[in-house]
Structure 1
Amino acid sequence: MFDRRGLMLILSSPSGAGKTSISRTILQQDPNLKLSISVTTRPKRANEVDGVDYFFKTVDEFNEMRDKGELLEWAEVHGNYYGTPKAAIEIELDAGRDVLFDIDYQGAIQLYERCPEDIIGVFILPPSIAELKHRLERRADDSAEVIRRRLTTAQQELKQWESYDYIIVNHDLDDSCAAVASILHSARMMPSRQKNLSNFISGLQSELDSIL
């Protein structure tokens, strides 16, 4: 009904808790939600496509983007760099499209600091650490040492839960996706997102004045 500015939906979690699976599902379900494609220095996995899953960069290329101020946020995670290209995000928000960020807490904190009025943050928790470890072990690409490093990182990540607006315990993928969709729907109805809401309400008040 109203023109609105898009919002930035952040999904964060310890590695293996399910944020990427949730992200992929809600992106398929919601045509107005676009994925923020990060740049990263992480090696490309077998099933990943450059420009679709990530923009894969060398460390030198990444540092050049960071130094030029082309990244909205950046962080080092598990020895690799990740960042969000700035210009593309602003274009989407101004066009009224929502942008999904599948990022860790370091990037989320930077976004909260720089764009607090545009952020809705959701932190995804695993149902248990045993289940988290099991999910990590099912990944064929990760060695035992990588899994151990991710579990160690999870200790720090779990401490950040209070930084987020919403918390979801990912017992079931469908239920978790439905919860995220509900959060997104509610956020879109916030008065601050609807550009001409005050004019519409003024019109209603004028109509009332004319008949009273």
Structure 2
Amino acid sequence: EKEGIDYYFISQKEFEKKIKKKEFAEWAEVYDNCYGTSAKFLKESVSKNKKIVLSLDQQGALQIKKKYPKITSLIAILPPSLEDLRKRLKKRGETQKEIKKRTSVSSREIKFFKEKYDYKIVNKDLDDSLERLKEIINSATNNTRIKTDSTAVIAWQSLTSMKR
């Protein structure tokens, strides 16, 4: 993760100030870290008709959907199974404690995604999943809707961070 590319890192104190000033379109605490999306960035991007893809947890995604319902599609990028998720987390160097915590949360989230999200992509193969995501983004920006069980503009998990 690089400053200014993947994230903009700020102190907890500064983050709390930005919350009070309502500078985030959405924010959440996830796995003991705080994340937020700049309201200014979103407004500027929307006004320029830019395609925006955000990697958010369910709290953040629902906040964005509530604020921008007509221009937001939610997509869940899901592991083929919880066992595959465990393997991916282990490969990334996560501790057993963290793997247990994340798979416990993920099993509940997967049920939620199936009910609340517009599209779902099962990430069996990174290249196929990326192509599917592109199709859905292009269809969403062309005001059409893909009639299959896949994708969108706000992603649960970044495709680029997923391991093959």
The answer, yes or no, to whether TM exceeds 0.5 is yes
Aligned partner (choices 83, 87, 95) of residue 130 of structure 1: 83
Quote the residue 2:143 is aligned against: 190
The answer to whether residue 130 in structure 2 is matched with residue 166 in structure 1 is no
Shift in Å, 1:156: 2.5
Q: Please give the secondary structure, in 2, of the residue aligned with 1:118.
A: coil
Matches of 1:188 and 1:59, distance apart in 2: 35
Aligned partner (choices 51, 55, 63) of residue 16 of structure 2: 63
TM-score w.r.t. the length of structure 1 is: 0.65
Paired residue type of 2:9? F
| Cα deviation code 1:122-173 (max 9, x no counterpart) | 1111111111100000013x22222221112212211221211111111111
Structure 1 ranges of 4+ moved more than 2 A: none
Q: Of the two structures, which has the highest relative contact order with CA contacts closer than 8 Å and spacing of 6 or more?
A: 1
Matches of 1:144 and 1:57, distance apart in 2: 28
TM-score w.r.t. the length of structure 2 is: 0.83
Matched residues, percent identical? 36
The answer to whether residue 34 in structure 2 is matched with residue 87 in structure 1 is no
Matches of 1:185 and 1:53, distance apart in 2: 23
Quote the residue 1:102 is aligned against: 55
Matches of 1:117 and 1:109, distance apart in 2: 13
5+ residue gaps, structure 1: 1-47, 192-212
Q: Please give the secondary structure, in 2, of the residue aligned with 1:56.
A: coil
| Matched positions, count | 143
Matches of 1:145 and 1:58, distance apart in 2: 26
RMSD of aligned alpha carbons: 1.3
Higher Cα radius of gyration: 1
